[in-house]
Copies of this chain bind each other. A is one copy, B any other.
Amino acid sequence: MLGGAGFIGSNLALRLSSLGATVTVVDGLIEGCGGNLANLDHAIPRERFLHLDLARQPVPDGLLSVTVVFDLMGDPAHGRSLVNPRRDLECNLLSQIALFEALRKIRRPPLVVLASTRQVYGRAQSLPVSEDHPLAPPDPNGIHKVAAEQYASVYGHVYGVRAILLRLTNVYGPRQGNADPAHGVAGFLIGRLMRGEPVLLYGGGTFRRDWLYVDDAVEALLAAGTRESANGRVFNIGHDRPVSLREFALKARELVGAGEVRDVPFPPEQRVIDVGDYWTDPRRAAEQLGWRASTSLFEGLRATIEFYRSRPGGERWPP
């Protein structure tokens, strides 16, 4: 489990651990990337956690002698990648190169489940977005995610490294950072409501997304990890039902029980990188992974808010 102290990684690590699996959690704990030991709830034994940045440190012998590598490494921040593309390149691509280089040297490498992002598509040319939609990443973060996917393809073709790629949509849920917009608009919006700060909707928040609760994302990762037959394939992972940011914010306000949701004009520097509506064609994942999102927005939001409330200082997560 690489990037296993981050938002999605930690949820997956805890789920695997609760299933009785032996999990080694690796995380570079790099400032801004979302990895934080608080996410692991003291449920992962100290000796199963490895503080390691694959971009800068060698891969220890035996680390990859496992059945499945869940690869959730990287910096998810789109906006920051425009401010500092070189940092984004280092966080998102050097670590992937190091991983695939290490994998190709193993006689029988493990199956890799690589978490990619809907961001590789950029602005949707048609909806819902299937896996054959052209790739047009709108920022350096998306560019580096495309490159990471292509690394998986090349190492598969040349060296037989097996990998399944999941392009995740906007994920939200427990353990998502909620005090920094770099960790995703969903968590940030909930955090602001919980802190009594107004939520600002650019241009009315009309764009629609297929918000995905993190437990559903975790199930998709697990499904891929047990479907070796899907080796070499890519899957869009999102909810079936698109919901506008406005609707998401109003539902969150209702569940928080307070807060202000305010319309503001679209800032020009945001408009230029905004990709607008996006929702997933879930058919390939349903047919080939047997996976479909099952958590309603109501349930997902309620569980998320409950998580933040259950932790001291949880309205600014990670603490």
**Which A residues have a C-beta under 8 Å from some C-beta of B?**
82, 85-86, 89, 93-94, 97-98, 100-101, 135-140, 142-144, 146-147, 150-151, 153-154, 157-158, 272-273
**Contact between A157 and B272, CB atoms less than 8 A apart:** yes
**Residues of chain B lying within 8 A (CB to CB) of residue A157:** 138, 272
Chain A contact residues: helix, strand, loop or mixed = helix
Tell me which of A137, A143, A150 has the highest count of chain B C-beta atoms within 10 A of its own C-beta. Answer: A150
Number of copies: 2
In the bound complex, residues from chain B placing their C-beta under 8 Å from that of A272 are 157-158
The reply to whether B139 and A143 form a contact with Cβ atoms under 8 Å apart is no
Chain B CB within 10 Å, residue with most, of A139, A146, A154, A272 = A154
**A175 vs chain B, min Cβ distance (A):** 30
A158 is contacted by which of B82, B94, B100, B135 (Cβ under 8 Å)?
B82
Task: Report the bound CA distance from A140 to B152 in whole Å.
Answer: 10
Q: Please measure, in the bound complex, the distance between the C-alpha atom of A151 and the C-alpha atom of B137, giving whole angstroms.
A: 9
Q: Are B136 and A143 in contact (CB under 8 A)?
A: no
Q: How far is the CA of A137 from the CA of B138 in the complex (A)?
A: 20
Give Cα distance in the complex from A288 to B140, angstroms. 29
In the assembled complex, the CB of A236 is this many whole angstroms from the nearest CB of chain B, namely 17
29 A-B pairs whose Cβ atoms sit less than 8 Å apart in the complex: A82-B154, A82-B158, A85-B100, A85-B101, A85-B151, A86-B94, A86-B98, A89-B89, A89-B93, A89-B94, A89-B97, A136-B150, A136-B153, A137-B150, A137-B154, A138-B157, A138-B158, A139-B158, A140-B151, A142-B150, A143-B147, A143-B150, A143-B151, A143-B154, A144-B147, A146-B146, A146-B147, A157-B272, A158-B272
